[in-house]
Structure 1
Amino acid sequence: MNTELSQVQLRELLDAARNIQPWMTRIRHRLHQVPEPAFREFETVGFVAAELTELDAALVRRVGDTGIVAELDSRLPGPVVALRADMDALAVEEKTGAAYASRHPGWAHSCGHDGHMACLLGACRVLREIGLPAGKVRLLFQPAEEQGNGAKLMIEQGALEPLPAAIFSLHGWPGLDVGTIASRGGTVMAASDVWAVRLVGRGGHGARPQEANSPILGLPGLIEALADMTGDELVVSPCVVEAGQAPNVIPDAAVVRGTMRTLSPEGRTRALEEMARVVARACGPLGLTHQITLDQHTPPVANDAALHERLVGTARGMGLDFALLSGPSMGSEDFGFYLEKCPGVMFRLGVGKTCPSLHNSAFDFCDEALPAGAAMLAAMALEALRSS
């Protein structure tokens, strides 16, 4: 049996998604107005749950307080295929000037999760209207991607049970023409570790520094040495410095926190070993002791090669532009946790070449990109159901 959809079928899917663009736009604008922090997406999840009910998607599981697992069921034997969208927002003061701008001061959908949710709800509507050939499509609305641990909680609380045959997700991407699909097989986004280095010296009076050993004096050399570790397949970024509480007291300790991005388990091991050497070299001559801690690890997003090839054919068959990525992004995404359990693909969806960058206060997901995102998610789900 031919498991791939024909060009006619793919373009019918895209037409179906284009027909509901006004509906998806209204959904995105509504979600855009209520950005919420990780694990506190209460208004968001209430709205999403109501829309899923309207679409006859069965709510099968709540994860924590704000995660949702829903399903479209063909009532015929077959595999499960999963589609995922993230829901949380960023601590950013929005400056888009949009009529539907954030109503929550200090919070904004500056990473486009409002668009991701609208695309997934759009895919759900298209799939409901067209019908599934067999099996089920599982819809994962995940909290706390920005913290890097929402996917892990979803998995721990059964979102992948029974294990899907495949899982798909998208990310809106500035710098690509609107509606362009981009991806690659293998690693597409880096692993991330949140680290902290604590320097310990000897505190004292600000008037008598000769009687103390200030850990603050070790910070400039340490920060520069850590940043100098950055190379083609490694990014080390010191981002937070904590030291002292009073202007006349030399503190006993100082802390530097940041992130490390790597592309493979082997590269991560080498980077951690090098970090230990760098910190020791920076602290030793100053008589400072040190401690390195890792607070959080997010694995790389590694796309399945065969499913990526199917994605390429699907995008081109649909008449969408496709861009093959030359290499991975050093940004991270907790979708990698799902891909450790089952094969899948995360692809980029172009939201405009001149669109402000992700996490920028002026970023706003492009409504014209919604049909392509919804149609691609629906098509990848249908083809996975037909092939499993």
Structure 2
Amino acid sequence: MDDVERAAAMALPPEVWDFIAGGSGRELSLAANRAAFDGVFVRPRILNDVSACGTEATLLGRAARMPVAIGPVAYHRLVCPEGELATARAAKAAGVPFTVATLSSVPVEEVTAVGGSVWFQLYWLRDTGRTLDLVRRAQDAGCEAIVLTVDVPWMGRRLRDVRNGFALPDDVRAVHLGAGPSTAHRRGDGASAVAVHTAETFSRSLTWASVERLRESTRLPVVLKGVLAPEDARRAVEHGVDALVVSNHGGRQLDGAMTAVAALPDVVDAVGGACEILLDGGVRSGTDVLKALALGASGVLVGRAPIWGLAAGGEDGVRQVLELLHGELTDALGLAGCVGVADARRLETLVTSVGGSVRDSGGRSV
């Protein structure tokens, strides 16, 4: 996957690369996402027949080829003319769900027309009526879940974009928010035009009452993305949420927020199996997927890696990324003595901290 990342960096204009690759502030949480995975070790099991090792899983009630979904990323047409259509076709071919974003550069109806399993990521807008219209539009288009992002009252201070004065090119637009140019296209020194646009558009008043309103407004599964605290996880279950995504938004919101890997075990314990739990942030390999499963996740979202593939090779590039993940996951499962995904969730883990201490999967120091 590092090779794909390097190819994407070479293919993209520097300011576009910074928009995709960057995090907020000093990028501490961005770097910690990878370090957290590197600090997780699993205890393999032996003498199991893994000659028919399988990666199949169920995500939000639907069969998937592996416990992986493509997470929401804005503006795919920044890196490829076909944008989200190419990514959705690759996801369909790989047998995994694709999440189309509120800030998609291709309409949701065109994405779902590709076929496959499609989820819709929702930002709560200042205009609640407009927000619920988007929910109905996604439902009517054939989306299978609504993924409400709950950690963006406004965009984190992403210094790479600020320094670049980043703005969208004229031919890339948030098509779900209007047909014409917006403040996201108005370049200014020392400011991110995309951040200005989202500050104007996103609600700062998203609350549990909003979650209730969403739950009442759709028959689709409701997923909350951006949960790190076990108290919030329990409350989400009380509000009838179907799944949680444990995430620090890829290190792009609060710099210094704990990693999803660190937060996951407590969230799993808090929920007690009452809903599915997905992990997002820093997933780069099939071994990372195995570690997430061993820590209690139902599956993972991958965001940046498919975009690297899209930038480096269009639809074929995304397919290669997903096939790489599938092959690596098969390898990791077999070498860990797992016949399938369910076995991975029973593996013991050792998690090393930055300070060097080690904790096992029961939370005990060892």
Task: Please indicate, yes or no, whether the TM-score normalized by the shorter chain is above 0.5.
Answer: no
TM-score category, normalised to shorter length: under 0.3
State TM-score, norm by structure 1.
0.26
Structure exhibiting the larger radius of gyration computed from Cα positions: 1
Structure number with higher helix proportion: 2
1 or 2, which has the higher strand percentage?
Answer: 1
